[in-house]
Amino acid sequence: MKKLKVAIIGCGLIAQERHIPAFNKIENVDLIAACDINENLAREVASKYKIPKVYSNTSEMFKNEDLDLVDICVPPQIHAAVGIEAMNNSCHIIMEKPMALNVSDCDQMIESAAKNNVEICVIHNKNFHKPFIKAKKLVKEGHIGEFVGMRIFLSTPHWDMIDLEDHWYHKLPGGVIGETGPHMAYMSSEFIKNINEVEVLAENHLKHPWAPNDDFRIELKGDNAISSVILAYTPNYWICDIDIIGTDAMLRLDLNGMILTKHSLKELKYGPFVKYYLGNILQVAGGMLKNVLGDKKIGTDLVIEEFVDSIFNNGKAPVTGEEGREAVRIMQMVVEEYNKKYKL
């Protein structure tokens, strides 16, 4: 069986928690090299996951290895540079989100892919979690009536992000929203076309001198609806909850518990309430059973698996460079509005 020769660049948190485990579940790939400017980390990760080659420098790696696919898990500030270097070495690339920091960098990457005849795939992982995939299908098939909007609550524990003074998160355009904001952008753009108007409200609760704000309300308005978002960095927990609102029913997605429930109470009477509670319990119990008994693949596993398949079958990447660019375009609007309003 032909196997793709793969290298991972950036051996930090997401590479170890999600990407390397995802490759380890796929048969037709060989993870042959780990590269990180922190050579000790690259060695440690290579030894833990039995990756044969170690590099601390990308150009050295490209000089010595004949690679098919490179998985880029470095900070967003250098996504475009590393991505273009990999494509100029004839490699398909997987990019962690955000694809790049601005639209013009995305355009250069898309150009480079075309010139080198390779594909870009961006990890918009949340859109590939099973409840999200099911929600897309239900909306498309008309199960919620007409789609009229959505809301997203995304919270990241303060100790994981906002408290870390020297972290690269704070040096992104928009600071911390540059890190988790791309999730709201690509989740919203799945349902709302041509997002072209944004509003931002921000507050500072924790008063860290390095983070001007830590609690955000963001509105994303497109041709067909509005997405209302809370991005919170003050709580002590992770939550990713999404409500998708239709004229006949609403979908509730809990992307921590990986459960989708559908709600459509038509009458405010005792009888329907009982039916509503029972319906809820059955939906949650069914979702839990599927999660416990079914396959445990989550968003990143599924995007990487589909991309590898698409390379063998000359197909289209599950998240193309153009789709990655769209999320970056939305984030660029949000950051411009935020900076203008708060004079940052």
Ligand X SMILES: NC(=O)c1ccc[n+]([C@@H]2O[C@H](COP(=O)([O-])OP(=O)(O)OC[C@H]3O[C@@H](n4cnc5c(N)ncnc54)[C@H](O)[C@@H]3O)[C@@H](O)[C@H]2O)c1
Task: Scan residues 169-188 and list those touching ligand X (CB under 6 A).
Answer: 179
According to the binding rule CB under 6 A, does residue 231 interact with ligand X? no
Q: Which residue is nearest to ligand X (CB)?
A: 12
Residue in 8, 22, 41, 319 binding ligand X, rule: CB under 6 A? 41
Binding residue for ligand X (CB under 6 A) from 23, 31, 71, 97? 97
Number of residues in contact with ligand X under rule CB under 6 A? 23
Q: How wide is the angle at C-alpha 99 spanned by C-alphas 168 and 111, nearest 5°?
A: 135
Taking the C-alpha atoms of residue 327 and residue 307, their distance in angstroms, rounded to an integer, is 19
Smallest separation, CB 275 to ligand X (Å): 37
User: Pick from 37, 138, 148, 164: which binds ligand X (CB under 6 A)?
Assistant: 37
Enumerate the β-bridge partners of residue 69: 6, 92
Of 161 and 250, nearer to ligand X (C-beta) is: 161
- Evaluate the omega torsion of the peptide bond into residue 131 and state whether it is cis, within 30 degrees of 0: no
Of 123, 76, 145, the residue nearest 320 (C-alpha) = 123
Which residue, 188 or 261, has its beta carbon nearer to ligand X?
Answer: 188
Q: Which of 20, 78, 91, 106 binds ligand X (CB under 6 A)?
A: 78
Report CA dihedral (116, 122, 123, 125) to the nearest 10 degrees: -140
Q: Which is nearer to ligand X, 186 or 338 (CB)?
A: 186
Residue among 95 and 118 whose Cβ is closer to ligand X: 95
Q: How far is the CB of 14 from ligand X (least distance, A)?
A: 4
> Using CB under 6 A, which of 24, 25, 30, 38 touches ligand X?
38
When binding is defined by CB under 6 A, the residue of 68, 96, 214, 323 that contacts ligand X is 96
Q: Token digits for 336?
A: 């411009």
Residues between 106 and 125 with contacts to ligand X, criterion CB under 6 A = 123, 125
Q: Which residues of 59-96 are buried (b: 16+ CB within 10 A; e: fewer)?
A: eebbeebebbbbbbbbbbebbbebbbbbbebebbbbbb
| 78 or 232: CB nearest ligand X | 78
Of these, 31, 34, 36, 135, which contacts ligand X (CB under 6 A)? Answer: 36
Rounded to whole angstroms, the Cα distance separating 207 from 205 reads 6
Nearer to ligand X, 15 or 317 (CB): 15
Nearest distance, CB of residue 251 and ligand X, angstroms: 21
Residues 6-35 that bind ligand X (CB under 6 A): 9-15, 35
Among 21, 75, 157, 272, indicate the residue that binds ligand X (CB under 6 A): 75
Site for ligand X in 122-161 (CB under 6 A): 123, 125
Which residues here bind ligand X, judged by CB under 6 A?
A: 9-15, 35-38, 41, 58, 73-76, 78, 96-97, 123, 125, 179
